[in-house]
Amino acid sequence: MKKIVILVVITFASFSCSLFRKSVEERSIKEAAYVSVNDGLSYENAVIINVTNSHKGVTVEYKWLKQNYSGYSILDEKISFFDNKPFDIFTIKTREGEEKNIYFNISAFFGSL
């Protein structure tokens, strides 16, 4: 009986660990899907934010900026429309002192809470 209990505990622990690992991997994949591979330097190459919640969308924009322009500072932010789609446009100053406009296509979450 003792061997069966030990076997059940080991099996359960192994199964739980694999579920946790799978959950973390799926969450990482899902988070990566929020942002396109575009460079954001124009309307045509805007970073596409694929979330349906404004709060999460804005969070992803700032996360993208931090990952791609570490040490940046925001000089301006505005909303614009191009080809009937809403865009957030950030004017940033890079760590090296260069000013850039970064375009985010926010169609997926624009106007949602």
**Angle in degrees, CA 97, 99, 102, rounded to 5:** 130
**What pLDDT sits at residue 69?**
97
Q: Name the pLDDT band for 33 (thresholds 50, 70, 90).
A: very low
- Helices vs. strands in the chain: H and E counts, helices first: 2, 4
Q: How many degrees, rounded to 5, is the angle at CA 10 between CA 7 and CA 16? A: 135
Domain boundaries, the chain: 1-32, 35-113
What mean pLDDT is reported for the chain? 81
pLDDT tens-place string over residues 62-100:
999 999 999 999 999 999 999 999 999 999 999 999 999
